[in-house]
Amino acid sequence: MLMEIKNKDSERSIFFFRLNVITVFLVVVLVCIVFRVFYLQILNHEHFITRAQENRLKIQPIVPPRGLIYSSDGVLLAGNKPSFSLLVVPEKVNDMEGSILRLSRLMQLDTGGVKETLGGLKERTSFQSVMLKNQLTEQEVAIFSVNRFRFPGFFIDSSLVRYYPMGSDMAHIVGYVGKMNSRDLLGVDNSNYRGTRFIGKIGIESMQEEILHGKAGYQKVEVNAEGRVLRVVERKDPIPGSNVHLAVSSMMQRQAFQLLEGFSGAVVMLELESGSLLASASNPSFDPNLFVDGISSSAYKKLINSPGKPLFNRVLQGQYPPGSVVKPLIAIGALESAVETTGSHVYCPGFYRLNDKGRRYHCWSEKGHGKVDLNNAIARSCDVYFYQLAKNVGIHGLKESLLSFGLGSQTGVDLLGEKSGLVPSREWKKLALGESWYPGETLISGIGQGFMLATPIQLAQAAAILARKGLVTPPRYLDYYQSIDGLKEEFPRQPARSPRLQLRDAIHWDVVRDAMIDVVHSDFGTARSARLADGIKFAGKTGTAQVSKVNRGSMKQKPMVLRDHALFIGFAPAHKPEIAVAVLVENGGSGSRTAAPMAQKMMDAFFHNKKKVDDLADESR
Amino acid sequence: MNRGSNLFLRLHVDLALVGSVFIVCTIGLILLYSASNGSSEVVFRQLVRMMIGLTAMLSIAQVSPRALLKLSPFIYLVGLLLLIAVHFFGDTSGGAARWLDLGIVRFQPAEVMKIAVPLMLAAIISNRPLPPSKRSILLCSLILVVPVFLIYQQPDLGTSLLVGFSGIIVLFLGGVSWRAIRYVSLFSLCAAPLAWVSIHSYQRERIRTLFNPENDPLGAGYHIIQSKIAIGSGGLYGKGWLNGTQSHLEFLPERATDFIFAVYCEEFGLVGVLMLMAAYLLVISRGIHVARNAQDTFERLLSASLIITFVTYIIVNVMMVVGLIPVVGVPLPLISYGGTSMVTMMASLGMVMSILTHRKFYSRD
């Protein structure tokens, strides 16, 4: 019971001692805290102030608007239009599944695809946005904006997306842009492409990427923890890409595609003075707009497997036996080498034989042309005459004259992917096939058959060289580009691949030209149906290139793919030429029936339009 | 003594204590205006709570320590019942059932225990000679463990530790033998691995994060990293009132409540921190003064444990914000936005003031 008695003094002293212990302890802790704050605020101040700035300020690249592409007649070929996309920052979404479900009630959303996109993003850096849906309609944008508060972490972004108003009509020339990939990044200045989504993949879009892209700007923005931009602290505007103006005329191009409707083939129209390719049509074509936001694999497969090969640009890459359209070129060569004279005659019985027992080389006319001279042989396209001529000139002579017209080598046009065709020779055959040359091969080379191949653009250029009496101007798609401040700059002209073709006797140009006029304007010419309106003289040459060995029998009975290719080259006005044209229609049947009328309609369209423009100019004057 | 202080004394008001509380509260309101992004509504609501708290403080000061002693079992039992009630009818907020909705007011019963536990323990052990006998230590332990366990169950690890701590302080000051203290320490050390396993995984995560916040900068480490950036970027003088980028651009989470100290550091710098500490020291030193001059054991134990609990709250909150201890949900007394904590802190200071103003021989010192 003694223990129960309170000892106030001892209680007090214990209490005070213990209180002091606690106080000392608390003071120590307090000092620790002060040191800690000192450590953070004074010793590491610089570090944390930087971290705070990094938190607060973000540098955003500003993508320059891509330069536009125009045709020579001022029609927009490649433009930019605003496009809205729905994006999400997954880290900021609490209930992804529910949000997507609710979103799918508001707009059409491929929920399976979205989940796949989100699931496949394991290696993504945090807080980066992911695109869920692009090309939102205005209605979808409005609906989302109203409901935005229900979807934290989701937002709509607007950006400029490329589009091609003329679609397939310009696809092979203008090309298209597509989404940048890591390989694209290797070829460009990365700092300038930060934020850029699209890069030229093919055609002018790809070749003139540097000019079209422009210079990226940036802005330093203050953001909050949600990443929402609160204000722009600093801004450097981007320099938009320059506008590219093409030499191509949208009108002539559209005309060419209209003519090729239903056929596989190419139409090339060259302005002689400038080398401008007014038209360069390859049918069938494709819609470049499909590629911009990434083409679906099924659509791509469809394009790849289409029998018409729409992705293939026949103008530059299609190599065809040129057939009879090489006859004027060979004639020039023969006249020059004095193997042939304008006066000499050949009798055409409908076939030609190297020797009496030899195999028959048929003329296209079964009955034969009878007695023909050079003019006649060109106008009526007599094969026997040219068999004889080829035999006289020899394969080497043929090769020389064809090469001088630019066949067998690239024209140097300012678009990539050009093929060089083929002008055969003994050496070539030995090297490529390991076989020796047969005399019969010389004969069929004389009518543009056999191994010989040419692209439509080569044929157009050959026609141009004929028209300009040997003057070679490389064809071109590009005219000039204009920067945002209005500065015009011509695209550098390609140097001619071959020098001017000088003839020993310039009269030979006129001889061949007159024969080509007779092709159209004489009553025995093969292209009598191709006369131009307003009495404009048209010099041309038809060609019908064999695809299958058997040439006899009605065209109609042959399956389509075995029918002959129809060709035509020409220029007008014949005595003061402005325009050259080359037409190739795959399996078109005959040059005179299929190709020549197309060339004629192209010419008519050109001169009709020119007259209209001139009249307008006169009026305004 | 002049007549003025005599009048206040008769009203049981200690000007030094009320004045220093007023200074801290004013700092708190000014800071809250900035931390809430200039919301006068938030400031007004906090002001109302301060008024309620001040009323509670002044009212409780009217109750004599004798009466407090007699009331202590009832307060404790009511607190315990409320804790059990919250266990069954609690309002779940943020995954933890801590709130009790009584129609007019919503409050956290755990906060009541911050006062009720030291009061009850002080009442029990001061009733007998000290140092306390084994029996009374056992009784005290039971009284302590039940609410601590209930609060831990909510789950609210921070508050349960602090309530437990406030009880231990009473026992320590009461003179529990050093041998018993050694045993308990040894026991807790052995039990630590067990505790590590039994706590919630998010709590473990917070402890791990403390040691390496950069490991998970967007998850568990986010609070600590952003808080340290806010404090460190404040520097010596701070970025100025309303100019803290970390808080105003919302990088700093819970900036009006548990992490308000980081906002303060960012805007007022080290100089401001020292000033705030000085203001707190005014309150604390007055409290210690009361404890040292209390007239009997109950008064001494109660006032000392209450004021030490008050200091502990400050220290735990600040250490958490500066990244010295794991993130536990402990508000900064008198400053953090929130009602219950404000009122209970004021109430405990009211008890301290009651002890001070009910002294019979106040002129002794």
> Would you call A619 an interface residue with chain B, using a CB distance cutoff of 8 Å?
no
Give A-chain residues touching B323 at CB under 8 angstroms.
36
Angle (nearest 5°) at CA A579 between A578 and A581: 165
CB contact under 8 A, A38 and B297: no
Asked whether residue A133 carries a pLDDT value surpassing 70, the answer given is yes
For residue B159, give how far its alpha carbon lies from the nearest alpha carbon of chain A (Å).
19
pLDDT number for residue A232: 86
Give B-chain residues touching A36 at CB under 8 angstroms.
319, 322-324
- Lowest mean pLDDT of A48-52, A361-365, B203-207, B214-218, name the range: B214-218
Residue A60, CA distances (Å) to A66, A229, A231, A245, A450 in order = 18, 10, 12, 31, 61
Give B-chain residues touching A37 at CB under 8 angstroms.
231, 265, 270, 273, 322
For residue B270, give how far its alpha carbon lies from the nearest alpha carbon of chain A (Å).
7
Q: What is the pTM of this model?
A: 0.69
- Identify which of A599, A304, A109, A50 has the alpha carbon closest to the alpha carbon of residue A100: A109
- Identify which of B156, B47, B36, B55 has the alpha carbon closest to the alpha carbon of residue B96: B156
> Would you call B265 an interface residue with chain A, using a CB distance cutoff of 8 Å?
yes
Please check whether residue A621 is in contact with residue A615, taking contact to mean a CB–CB distance below 8 angstroms.
Answer: no
- Identify which of B289, B294, B333 has the alpha carbon closest to the alpha carbon of residue B311: B333
> Would you call B128 an interface residue with chain A, using a CB distance cutoff of 8 Å?
yes
pLDDT number for residue A296: 82
Asked whether residue A91 carries a pLDDT value surpassing 80, the answer given is no
Q: Is B325 helix (H, G, I), strand (E, B) or coil?
A: coil
Burial A453-474 (b: 16+ CB within 10 A, else e): bbbbbbbbbbbbbbbbbbebbb
For residue A115, give how far its alpha carbon lies from the nearest alpha carbon of chain B (Å).
23
Note which residues in 284-313 of chain B have CB less than 8 A from chain A. Answer: 288, 291-292, 297, 300-301, 304, 308, 311
Q: State how far the Cα of B192 lies from the Cα of B188, in Å rounded to an integer.
A: 6
Q: State how far the Cα of B275 lies from the Cα of B256, in Å rounded to an integer.
A: 20
> Residue B180: which pLDDT band, with cuts at 50, 70 and 90?
confident
pLDDT number for residue A127: 59
Give the single-character DSSP code of A594: I
> Residue B364: which pLDDT band, with cuts at 50, 70 and 90?
very low
> Would you call B218 an interface residue with chain A, using a CB distance cutoff of 8 Å?
yes
Asked whether residue A278 carries a pLDDT value surpassing 90, the answer given is yes
Which tens digit of pLDDT belongs to each residue from B125-144?
A: 888 777 778 888 889 989 99
Minimum-distance CB partner of A42 among B236, B318, B319: B236
Please check whether residue A286 is in contact with residue A168, taking contact to mean a CB–CB distance below 8 angstroms.
Answer: yes
Query: Span B228-235, mean pLDDT?
Result: 92
pLDDT number for residue B104: 59
Which tens digit of pLDDT belongs to each residue from B307-352?
A: 999 999 999 999 999 999 888 778 899 999 988 888 989 999 999 9
Which tens digit of pLDDT belongs to each residue from A418-433?
A: 999 999 999 999 999 9
pLDDT number for residue A553: 47
Which tens digit of pLDDT belongs to each residue from B68-79?
A: 999 999 999 999
Please check whether residue B252 is in contact with residue B230, taking contact to mean a CB–CB distance below 8 angstroms.
Answer: yes
pLDDT number for residue B92: 60
Give A-chain residues touching B274 at CB under 8 angstroms.
34
Query: Span B25-49, mean pLDDT?
Result: 92
Give A-chain residues touching B322 at CB under 8 angstroms.
33, 36-37, 40
pLDDT number for residue A429: 93
In whole numbers, what is the pLDDT of chain A averaged over residues?
Answer: 88
Asked whether residue B277 carries a pLDDT value surpassing 90, the answer given is yes
Q: State how far the Cα of B327 lies from the Cα of B205, in Å rounded to an integer.
A: 10
pLDDT number for residue A386: 93
Which tens digit of pLDDT belongs to each residue from A512-569?
A: 999 999 999 999 999 998 899 888 999 999 999 987 655 444 445 566 677 889 999 9
Give A-chain residues touching B135 at CB under 8 angstroms.
none
Residues of A identified as active-site: 324
pLDDT number for residue A4: 55
Q: What percent of chain A has pLDDT over 90?
A: 53
> Would you call A37 an interface residue with chain B, using a CB distance cutoff of 8 Å?
yes
> Residue A338: which pLDDT band, with cuts at 50, 70 and 90?
confident
Query: Span B16-20, mean pLDDT?
Result: 94
pLDDT number for residue B86: 83
Q: What percent of chain A has pLDDT over 70?
A: 94
CB contact under 8 A, A56 and B273: no
pLDDT number for residue A147: 87
Query: Span A209-213, mean pLDDT?
Result: 93
The dihedrals phi and psi of A482, each to the nearest 5 degrees, come to -130, 120
Q: What is the 3-state secondary structure (H, E, C) of A539-556?
A: EEEEEEECCCCCCCCCHH
Domain boundaries, chain A: 314-469+506-617
> Would you call A56 an interface residue with chain B, using a CB distance cutoff of 8 Å?
yes
Query: Span A387-407, mean pLDDT?
Result: 92
* CATH top class, domain A314-469+506-617: alpha beta
> Residue B248: which pLDDT band, with cuts at 50, 70 and 90?
confident
Query: Span A577-591, mean pLDDT?
Result: 93
Q: State how far the Cα of A53 lies from the Cα of A388, in Å rounded to an integer.
A: 87
CB contact under 8 A, A19 and B249: no
Q: H-helix or E-strand containing A513?
A: helix A507-521
> Would you call A13 an interface residue with chain B, using a CB distance cutoff of 8 Å?
no
pLDDT number for residue A331: 93
> Residue A131: which pLDDT band, with cuts at 50, 70 and 90?
confident
Minimum-distance CB partner of A225 among B172, B251, B269: B251
> Would you call A33 an interface residue with chain B, using a CB distance cutoff of 8 Å?
yes
Which tens digit of pLDDT belongs to each residue from A10-48?
A: 888 889 999 999 999 999 999 999 999 999 999 999 999
Residue B216, CA distances (Å) to A95, A123, B180, B213, B328 in order = 21, 16, 41, 6, 18
The dihedrals phi and psi of A195, each to the nearest 5 degrees, come to 95, -20
> Would you call B251 an interface residue with chain A, using a CB distance cutoff of 8 Å?
yes
CB contact under 8 A, B129 and A5: yes
> Would you call A438 an interface residue with chain B, using a CB distance cutoff of 8 Å?
no
Asked whether residue B224 carries a pLDDT value surpassing 90, the answer given is no
Q: What is the 3-state secondary structure (H, E, C) of B82-136?
A: HHHHHHHHCEEECCEEEEEECCCCEECHHHHHHHHHHHHHHHHHHCCCCCCCHHH
Give B-chain residues touching A224 at CB under 8 angstroms.
249-251
Return the residue matching tokens 């204590």: B17
> Would you call A124 an interface residue with chain B, using a CB distance cutoff of 8 Å?
no
CB contact under 8 A, B246 and A45: no
Residue of A nearest to B216 (CA): A126
Which tens digit of pLDDT belongs to each residue from B80-114?
A: 998 888 877 766 655 555 666 665 566 788 888 88
CB contact under 8 A, B270 and A55: no
- Which site among A31, A34, A40, A44 would you substitute to test the B interface, given the most B Cβ atoms closer than 10 Å to its Cβ? A40
Helix axes B109-126, B65-89, angle to 10 degrees: 140
Domain boundaries, chain B: 3-364
Give B-chain residues touching A14 at CB under 8 angstroms.
130-131, 175
> Would you call A4 an interface residue with chain B, using a CB distance cutoff of 8 Å?
yes
> Would you call A47 an interface residue with chain B, using a CB distance cutoff of 8 Å?
yes
Note which residues in 135-194 of chain B have CB less than 8 A from chain A. Answer: 169, 172-175
For residue A97, give how far its alpha carbon lies from the nearest alpha carbon of chain B (Å).
20
- Which site among B172, B218, B237, B249 would you substitute to test the A interface, given the most A Cβ atoms closer than 10 Å to its Cβ? B249
